[in-house]
Amino acid sequence: MPFEQIIAIVAFFLVLVFIWGIFKKLFKLMFYAGIIILLLMAANAYFIYRDFMDLRENFSLSSKEVLLVDGSEVITGIILEGDDFKALGNQQLNEISSELKNKNYEGILGDNYKLMILDADIIKDLDKTFESGSSSEKATLFAALVSEEIIANKNPLFFFSQFKDGNIIIYPETALFKTVKLVPIDLFKDIAESLFETTKEKAKSFIAEEDEQ
């Protein structure tokens, strides 16, 4: 066999060994990276599930501070808890407006379970008008609107879609809500139906009470 062929064969095998070494390292890297990604996905799924169970158990019953804002101005606000609501007074709304400009959501939240800030554009999307009136009248109208049109909307994805569009701010923004921003909204249909099932029943009760008054 000519010396040149021997050199070519040796060079070929050396290159092959070199390439194989690179592939082994890449394979190990991809393998470990895959394990890390799977662990992160599993951890994220766990936090989403835990968040969902917490919301399902507490969202309808625990106190929620719900605000309607136009820019940095708070139009009205309520503390919604189960079937009942409490209107926020003008002084409270003015203080919240100041906190809102600094995005001090924690300070606004106080001892409540969740803070929900609704943009006035939602009212337009629902083809509703929010007429002027006393703070008590505004709060009563807003409470009925939140219960009937937003939380108990016929479309179970309405709440999440408005959140994803930036028309609703939730604080604290936990794992489930963070994920809503990143994935197609249709994936949350079953979750939304299950999550708001109890809330809708509370809303129906609240609406019936309002109609009787």
**Does some domain include residue 14?**
no
pLDDT interval class at 78 (50, 70, 90): very high
**Does some domain include residue 48?**
no
Distance, in Å, from the CA atom of 131 to the CA atom of 99, rounded to the nearest integer, reads: 25
Contacts with 132 (C-beta within 8 Å, 6 or more apart), sequence order: 138
Q: Residue 74 sits in which domain range?
A: 64-212
Q: When comparing pLDDT for 6 and 77, which is higher?
A: 77
Q: How many domains does the chain have?
A: 1
pLDDT in tens, 118-128: 998 887 767 66
**Does some domain include residue 84?**
yes
**Does some domain include residue 150?**
yes
**Does some domain include residue 8?**
no
Mean pLDDT is lowest, of 33-37, 85-89, 178-182, for 33-37
- Average per-residue pLDDT for the chain: 79
pTM score:
0.72
**Does some domain include residue 160?**
yes
Q: Helices 135-145 and 197-212, interaxial angle, to 10°?
A: 140
pLDDT in tens, 38-58: 666 677 788 888 888 888 888
**Does some domain include residue 54?**
no
Q: Tell me the average pLDDT across 138-145.
A: 84
Q: Give residue 62's Cα distance to chain centre.
A: 17
